Structure 1
Amino acid sequence: MSKPVTLTEFHPHRTTTLHHRTHLVRDGRPAVPLDLELHYTSLDPFAVRIGLKTDGASIHWSLSREALLLGLRRHEGIGDVAIWPVHQTDGCGWLRIRLGPLRSCAVFQMERDVISNWLDVTLQLVPRDTESDHLDWEGFLAPLLDQD
């Protein structure tokens, strides 16, 4: 596995991006290497954007930061997204994420500590329960309400 790289910016808004090499899981085992990018911004404080890339193909997905936080400790999610911890006999802790419906989905895993540390950075940028404070409701509503 490559060493994870986290980039954090504070201007003009707060963002952090994690770049990491991970694996697609097949039959419960790591199979295909993937480049993973996790992106978080205070402009969209409830969401984490995921990008997966391999050999010219890519997929992008958005999911709840809260679901990722809860998935560190227990199975979280229904429908097209599920997140759960996996403890290996070698003592390593992994986090698996399933994207897509059960019949046609991608499951990938990464070290639990890597994503936990990155989520800590997101919580420093936008603490839990303050997400709504970062939404620009006035900027969104002003043009709508000024229509005479």
Structure 2
Amino acid sequence: MAYWLFKTEPDTFSIDTLKQQQVSCWEGVRNYQARNMLRDQVKVGDEVLIYHSSCKEVGVVGIATVVKEAYPDHFQFDPDSPYFDLKSDPANPRWIMVDIAYQRHLRRVSLQRMKAEPALAAMPLVQRGSRLSVMPVSDEEWQAILTMTGQFD
């Protein structure tokens, strides 16, 4: 099992939306490096920190579990979707997605707090210019974040 952090804008898709749906596809990843991680490394059973970005209170807000591995993101073929990609070929899809299941909410851990935590100094999220929408989280980083929430596995 591995750990991940998936970023989302809560106005588009929030931890509350995931809780309501229980299981959802994680679509719309349009960065090749993030796509490659979803495609090649994210596996069923992996745990995911849900991170709200581009909002007033950015930070880690919950946990989900991967329940379906990489498959073509069907939105890339939908001309009415904001994720439509005219250059993507159905015979060789450019973009993929995974399915995640809601596990639980966490007390929010802000980006500011994470940047101040020495145990998270190497985490891509706190590095300038390294904020992908999908990023790996080490065992130590996972435990540090859970400790910061006051909630433990």
TM-score, scaled relative to structure 2: 0.28
For CA contacts below 8 A with separation 6 or more, give which structure has more relative contact order. Answer: 2
Which is richer in strand? 1
Which is richer in helix? 2
Q: Which has the larger radius of gyration?
A: 1
TM-score, scaled relative to structure 1: 0.28
